[in-house]
Amino acid sequence: MKFTQLRLVGFKSFVDPAELRIDPGLTGIIGPNGCGKSNLLEALRWVMGATSAKSLRGGGMEDVIFAGTDNRPARDKAEVTLLVDNSDKTAPARFNDADTLEVVRRIVRGKGSDYRINGEEVRAKDVQLLFADLGTGANSPALVRQGQINELIAAKPENRRRVLEEAAGVAGLRARRREAQLRLNAAEANLDRLQEVVDDLE
């Protein structure tokens, strides 16, 4: 499974529609300071379900929307699309029929963001788990932000452990365990309630 294309519109400095083709092998992005190289990496992290505004160098999640310049007005929405080649059929069963996965995240001012995979509306968690299962994701150690190495050195042990778990590909399992635990707790609460009803009837 490979990323093949990133499309942006209204995302940070990419006010006009832009496409980045990701061919096999190495892809280099070059350009003068401030031209948007890091914004591309942030778009990748964002479409994979990043939820921390700080990791996207913003104060709030809406800061990813083009904020306007002296000669162009601000936009009220941003959209990033990531095309993933699934011809090796390694996607989770739910999406595995398609040869290409088109993952789209869109944010509208005041309305929050939503996600689609091949046109079907999905939860943030579905997108995060899809990429976690593929051994990547918004927090993947393969995506290194400026200053992140220093942060890692100074990080608390549990935060450092999280980075290692992402690298070992078990982050998806941890998220699923948390979800299963919540469902288990709800089922236990229902059982208790049921027992009370049975006790009342006896």
Interface residues toward ligand ATP, by CB under 6 A? 12-13, 31, 33-39, 63, 65-67
Is 35 or 186 the residue whose CB approaches ligand ATP more closely?
Answer: 35
Would you say 114 and 106 are in contact if contact means Cβ atoms under 8 Å apart? Answer: yes
For residue 181, the minimal CB distance to ligand ATP (Å) is: 37
Is 11 or 172 the residue whose CB approaches ligand ATP more closely?
Answer: 11
For residue 15, the minimal CB distance to ligand ATP (Å) is: 7
For residue 36, the minimal CB distance to ligand ATP (Å) is: 4
Would you say 162 and 175 are in contact if contact means Cβ atoms under 8 Å apart? Answer: no
Is 66 or 115 the residue whose CB approaches ligand ATP more closely?
Answer: 66
What amino acid occupies position 126?
A: D
For residue 67, the minimal CB distance to ligand ATP (Å) is: 4
Is 37 labeled as ligand-binding? yes
Task: List, in order, residues 6 or more apart from 170 with CB less than 8 Å away.
Answer: none
Is 4 or 13 the residue whose CB approaches ligand ATP more closely?
Answer: 13
Nearest to 74 by CA among 65, 86, 83: 65
Is 10 labeled as ligand-binding? no
Is 37 or 176 the residue whose CB approaches ligand ATP more closely?
Answer: 37
Is 58 labeled as ligand-binding? no
Would you say 104 and 47 are in contact if contact means Cβ atoms under 8 Å apart? Answer: yes
Q: What are the residue ranges of helices labelled H in 48-123?
A: none
- Terminal Cα-to-Cα distance of the chain (whole angstroms): 58
For residue 76, the minimal CB distance to ligand ATP (Å) is: 12
Is 38 labeled as ligand-binding? yes
Would you say 26 and 109 are in contact if contact means Cβ atoms under 8 Å apart? Answer: no
CA torsion 123-127-129-133 (nearest 10°) is 160
- Return binding residues for ATP: 32-39
- Return binding residues: 32-39
